[in-house]
A = this chain, B = another copy of it.
């Protein structure tokens, strides 16, 4: 696989060779080889003796392209002349950064928990005050400044369990709900449990290709085996059991394949799995003794007609028998997505289903050394898991705000797929859910050659050109994985409608010009 290396600029600067506007570099070179200008060999900790897994780890969503985008923003601020006036950050699912406004109920509760005087003095609805009071009563010293339990505040874990019960129509134990600082933390904590050799083989984890690069990054960090299974682009990115089996079988000579990651709704692909598909996956996991990671952080983001979100937990329970009682599952959720989009507040949870109680106790113990997830992230979880209900003073406004966000996302999901499909050389599956489109595009041979000459993968070459010429920042498909010889990128659907329209128009012009240039 093509690796992109980060080379810090300051070492170059010491040599007087390169100066780059970035605060800590991000100059690109094209291999993991040293570039021959090392001056730091005398350092106690250097690239020669650094944890090699850290070097391997790549996270394209915040990779070199995004660092370059930040540099360009600074250049623009300083008055640099560019063919565009602003950078459009379509690289990351960061709704508020793209202009989405916060849900009032969440922010009012947060303010009251932070500054409890507001419960008395502020002019807030009764349910806001009641919620803030109940949360404060469940915090040590009635302060958000106290540590909470490592796996979260009991009051909020109970709210999450009730949310899951309403969602699925099946019992959820609040003791099996563990709050976290966003889903990523929880996913990493569970992945880490698999760091062990089994029958002499390194543990391997099945992940979709394309995937959200937290998975590839964490597997690299933990030295676990990445076993990629391709999603079927020709069938709206469906998950095919045959392909799972191919991937697992091929990997079995190297790895003890022990877990299966499914992202539903899909990131970066936007597919929403059918219930039949989930049943088949659960059967497959059971047959092959795979622990399921169900990344369900986009469960509220389903747009396409006929698409519906089914949780793995619900399907598993309804399959009954050995599936219901036997298949081990961790399901992940976040307040960063959905309609709240509160990425910066770092709130999330996981539900553990059928997990060995000894293992669960070990997991909770391991988490305890990290003290606790942020109390205000947990407060946000409370608001998302137990939003106002009909009759509550905040209900009407909450419903209006939530509906507006989701309807607008729905319209944008539609617009983006249509636009890409109207462009020559592009095909884009419908954005059934989540917050991204992952269109496929063709590149003229001359562009591929130019990329080769520039020592960049073709899709990275294309994305850099796009950024430098238009200010649009997307993430090249190679950061998520794609079938060899195909080219994609991920763009979010998050720019507000007018900006998204503008972005798509600029994009079309760029692509025309680009294909013209390399025809």
**Binary CB contact string for chain A from 181 to 192 against chain B (1 if under 8 A, 0 otherwise):** 110110010001
Instruction: Indicate the member of A45, A51, A63, A111 with the most B CB atoms within 10 Å.
Output: A45
Residue of B whose beta carbon sits closest to that of A216: B369
Is A88 part of the contact surface with B, judged by Cβ < 8 Å? no
CB-based contact B358/A47 at 8 Å: yes
CB-based contact A363/B9 at 8 Å: no
A259 to B101, CA, bound (A): 46
Q: Given the complex, which residues of B lie within 8 Å of A340, measured CB to CB?
A: 145
Is A447 part of the contact surface with B, judged by Cβ < 8 Å? no
A185 to B193, CA, bound (A): 18
Q: Given the complex, which residues of B lie within 8 Å of A181, measured CB to CB?
A: 181, 346, 374
What copy number does this chain have within its complex? 2
Q: Known: A328-B43, A363-B54, A369-B217. Is A94-B59 also a contact (CB below 8 A)?
A: no
**Binary CB contact string for chain A from 201 to 220 against chain B (1 if under 8 A, 0 otherwise):** 00000000000011001100
Distance (whole angstroms) from the CB of A481 to the closest CB of chain B: 15
A366 to B52, CA, bound (A): 12
Distance (whole angstroms) from the CB of A4 to the closest CB of chain B: 10
A146-154, A417-425, A450-458, A505-513 - the one binding chain B: A146-154
Is A80 part of the contact surface with B, judged by Cβ < 8 Å? no
Residue of B whose beta carbon sits closest to that of A347: B374
CB-based contact B369/A147 at 8 Å: no
Distance (whole angstroms) from the CB of A353 to the closest CB of chain B: 12
CB-based contact B114/A107 at 8 Å: yes
CB-CB contacts below 8 Å: A87-113 with B: 89, 92, 94-102, 107-108, 110-111
A196 to B198, CA, bound (A): 21
**Binary CB contact string for chain A from 44 to 61 against chain B (1 if under 8 A, 0 otherwise):** 111101111111011100
**Binary CB contact string for chain A from 353 to 389 against chain B (1 if under 8 A, 0 otherwise):** 0111111111111101111111111000000000000
CB-based contact A47/B221 at 8 Å: no
Is A465 part of the contact surface with B, judged by Cβ < 8 Å? no
CB-based contact A365/B47 at 8 Å: no
CB-based contact A374/B374 at 8 Å: yes
Contact of A213 among B9, B11, B95, B369 (CB under 8 A): B369
Q: Given the complex, which residues of B lie within 8 Å of A59, measured CB to CB?
A: 365, 368-369
Contact of A145 among B11, B43, B345, B365 (CB under 8 A): B345
A62 to B42, CA, bound (A): 40
Contact of A193 among B51, B356, B370, B372 (CB under 8 A): B51
CB-based contact A96/B140 at 8 Å: yes
Is A284 part of the contact surface with B, judged by Cβ < 8 Å? no
Is A258 part of the contact surface with B, judged by Cβ < 8 Å? yes
Q: Given the complex, which residues of B lie within 8 Å of A354, measured CB to CB?
A: 43
CB-based contact A97/B363 at 8 Å: no
CB-based contact B50/A359 at 8 Å: yes
Q: Known: A9-B357, A24-B360, A40-B358. Is A54-B366 also a contact (CB below 8 A)?
A: yes
Contact of A360 among B8, B70, B355, B359 (CB under 8 A): B8
A binding-site residues for B, Cβ under 8 Å: 6-11, 14, 23-26, 38, 40, 42-47, 49-55, 57-59, 62-63, 70, 89, 92, 94-102, 107-108, 110-111, 114-115, 118, 139-141, 143-150, 154, 175, 181-182, 184-185, 188, 192-196, 198, 213-214, 217-218, 221, 258-259, 289-291, 326, 328, 336, 340-346, 354-366, 368-377
- For the complex of A and B, 10 pairs with smallest distance between CB atoms: A97-B140, A344-B375, A8-B357, A8-B361, A96-B145, A96-B143, A59-B369, A97-B146, A111-B115, A10-B357
